[in-house]
Structure 1
Amino acid sequence: MSAVEIHYISKRYGTVEAVRDVSLQIEEGELFGLIGPDGAGKTTLFRVLATLLLANEGSATVAGYDVVHDFREIRNRIGYMPGRFSLYQDLTVQENLEFFATVFHTTVEANYDLIRDIYEQLAPFKKRRAGALSGGMKQKLALCCALIHKPEVLLLDEPTTGVDAVSRQEFWQMLRTLKAKGITILVSTPYMDEAAMCERMALLQQGQVLQVGTPEELRSAYRWPLYAVRAEKMYPFLQALRQYPGTHTCFAFGEYAHLSLQTEKADEAAVRAYLTQKGFTKIDLQRIDPTIEDTFMDLLQQPETQPSS
């Protein structure tokens, strides 16, 4: 039995279609990512799975229970961490944890082994009010509260947004530890670099699934010769690259531009000659392997995106 099954879920807010015909299957014990920018439909989908919203069409099950008819059972079996910090800011760290344990008719001690590694980082601040914690500590407290009843499925909606790079790395290490304990984890993020930390993922845009697969599968689906290119005066340089007859796409990636060439016109020497003719100097051009972000950007360029499951 799959931990989460989603069948043609659609959700509208008036005339706005937030999620459209989404179908996904997440296996038990899997670390699965929903990857996409703001407005892609990630939060809406999480709220449907957490039984906080009713979909307009489609069906879904979590831990084998239907999100409409069995919502009480689901709420006892999931841990849900919304994107915005939603704990009681006037309560201390310890008081928040004890409160959520009481809500689920358990105690902190009963499942302490599950949260031990996370809570030990919070222990020095256990008498501090939650509202006075740093972003990374708030994140750890919210995760502890979501785990205190030992859920079967963990739903994490953009848990690393707004925290520093070190805290992001620490958080993903915590998720790997939790996965090793058998918990199914569904996590959303707008950060493409975090996608590689998932076992499988779905790329979302405008409420639709663009592609589903492992990081390796998604990277290997990129079919264009790809180059990292840099020169002085990057803005006119980008414009010139986009006007090159053999260009498929060209996007800025930090200090470089990622240039994909049409397969039949993939000629590195011709690109260099073209740029030199345009007056550019100190040209750095090197063949690279595609990232998940390159795959995502390429999917957006397709004239019609077909939902994939």
Structure 2
Amino acid sequence: MSTAVSINSVSMCYGKKQALREVSLNIPEASIFALIGPSGCGKTTLVKILMGLLKPTAGSVNIFGEGAPNCANARQTGYMAQAAALYPLLTGRENLEFFGKLYGLRGQQLKERIGAMAQLVRLSEDLDTQTQNYSGGMLQRLSLAVALLHTPRLLVLDEPTVGIDPLLRSEIWKELRSLATAGITVLITTHVMDEAEKCDQLAMMRAGQVLAVGSASELIKRAGTSTFEQAFIKFASGEEAVSSPDVNQEAAK
């Protein structure tokens, strides 16, 4: 399987604090890959480096074989940050039109994509409301619609289902699986155990390092536990850190 994203010995320091420590990962194309770990473990920092919002202290990132960030990769990537990056005085529709045009969508194509994404995230009846009047969950849903609008080749989602009800969350995951089946690569960060188990592969992180990479079933077996949640706790607590193989090197193969 081809590699969509290659992360090569990436480290990141904020003054004396080291947020990432020589992280290396290969993320396959047409798959759903999760970064999972406790708060402060470096997931969002790594995502921001991928998106060109932070420059790593050391290491490099390639997206579809090209050094990142660059303009070509930016147009092929959809990004949903933890905090909504929307214009509060614009309506939901106007936000979608604005971001759609940035990605080159026009006319009927833009209209159809807005309709489809609004239906997916259940905002069709609220599109003409200013987003300053949206609830937190509605802002989250609109942000997801923006990220999906231009059918990106790489979709990067940082905690995308926070504040979203279980039924809609299930529908969104069906759409993510459909996107992966269609050839789109999905990179997601999450704390939700059942979401992590839906991913093709996961990288468990702690203290800026990757502790283990594999499918949920593989990580359960490696941790010697009966559930994925137990495996997560065991890796996150550091109980497996000493006995695990060099997972950064393993992930880079």
TM, length-normalised to structure 2:
0.87
1:215 and 2:216 correspond: yes
Deviation (angstroms), 1:20: 0.9
What corresponds to 1:107 in structure 2? 106
- Given that 1:200 and 1:215 are in contact with CA atoms closer than 8 Å, whether structure 2 keeps it comes out as yes
Matches within 5 A, 1:54-93: 54-68=55-69, 71-93=70-92
Map Cα deviations across residues 18-42 of structure 1 (whole Å, 9 max, x no partner).
1111111111111111111210111
Matches within 5 A, 1:143-154: 143-154=144-155
Tell me the secondary structure at the aligned position of residue 147 of structure 2. helix
Aligned residue type for 1:295:
A
Q: From the superposition, tell whether residues 7 and 92 of structure 1 become closer, same or farther in structure 2 (CA, over 3 Å).
A: same
Aligned residue type for 1:75:
A
Deviation (angstroms), 1:145: 1.2
What corresponds to 1:285 in structure 2? none
Deviation (angstroms), 1:158: 0.8
- Given that 2:213 and 2:219 are in contact with CA atoms closer than 8 Å, whether structure 1 keeps it comes out as yes
Aligned residue type for 2:72:
E
Map Cα deviations across residues 184-241 of structure 1 (whole Å, 9 max, x no partner).
10000122221101011111111111110011111122326xxxxxxxxxxxxxxxxx
1:134 and 2:135 correspond: yes
Matches within 5 A, 1:26-45: 26-45=27-46
Aligned residue type for 2:106:
T
Q: From the superposition, tell whether residues 107 and 136 of structure 1 become closer, same or farther in structure 2 (CA, over 3 Å).
A: farther
Aligned residue type for 1:137:
M
- Given that 1:208 and 1:307 are in contact with CA atoms closer than 8 Å, whether structure 2 keeps it comes out as no
Matches within 5 A, 1:155-304: 155-223=156-224, 290-299=226-235, 300-302=238-240, 304=242
- Given that 1:108 and 1:148 are in contact with CA atoms closer than 8 Å, whether structure 2 keeps it comes out as no
Task: From the CA coordinates, give the structure whose radius of gyration is larger.
Answer: 1
Map Cα deviations across residues 52-108 of structure 1 (whole Å, 9 max, x no partner).
11111111111222115xx22221111110011111122101100000012122226
- Matches of 1:184 and 1:129, distance apart in 2: 32
- Given that 1:46 and 1:157 are in contact with CA atoms closer than 8 Å, whether structure 2 keeps it comes out as yes
Deviation (angstroms), 1:114: 5.8
Deviation (angstroms), 1:135: 3.5
Aligned residue type for 1:72:
C
1:95 and 2:94 correspond: yes
- Indicate the percent of aligned positions where both proteins have the same amino acid: 38
- Given that 2:93 and 2:114 are in contact with CA atoms closer than 8 Å, whether structure 1 keeps it comes out as no
TM, length-normalised to structure 1:
0.72
Deviation (angstroms), 1:44: 0.5
- Matches of 1:215 and 1:113, distance apart in 2: 37
Q: From the superposition, tell whether residues 179 and 131 of structure 1 become closer, same or farther in structure 2 (CA, over 3 Å).
A: farther
- Given that 2:137 and 2:162 are in contact with CA atoms closer than 8 Å, whether structure 1 keeps it comes out as no
What corresponds to 1:244 in structure 2? none
Unaligned runs of 5+ in 1: 225-289
- Matches of 1:294 and 1:5, distance apart in 2: 29
Q: From the superposition, tell whether residues 102 and 43 of structure 1 become closer, same or farther in structure 2 (CA, over 3 Å).
A: same
Q: What is the Cα-based RMSD across aligned positions, in Å?
A: 2.0
What corresponds to 2:118 in structure 1? 119
Aligned residue type for 2:49:
V
- Given that 2:117 and 2:149 are in contact with CA atoms closer than 8 Å, whether structure 1 keeps it comes out as no
- Matches of 1:62 and 1:117, distance apart in 2: 27
Aligned residue type for 1:42:
K
- Given that 1:98 and 1:108 are in contact with CA atoms closer than 8 Å, whether structure 2 keeps it comes out as no
Tell me the secondary structure at the aligned position of residue 109 of structure 1. helix
- Matches of 2:148 and 2:105, distance apart in 1: 11
- Matches of 2:164 and 2:141, distance apart in 1: 11
What corresponds to 1:4 in structure 2? 5
- Matches of 2:111 and 2:186, distance apart in 1: 19
- Matches of 1:25 and 1:140, distance apart in 2: 29
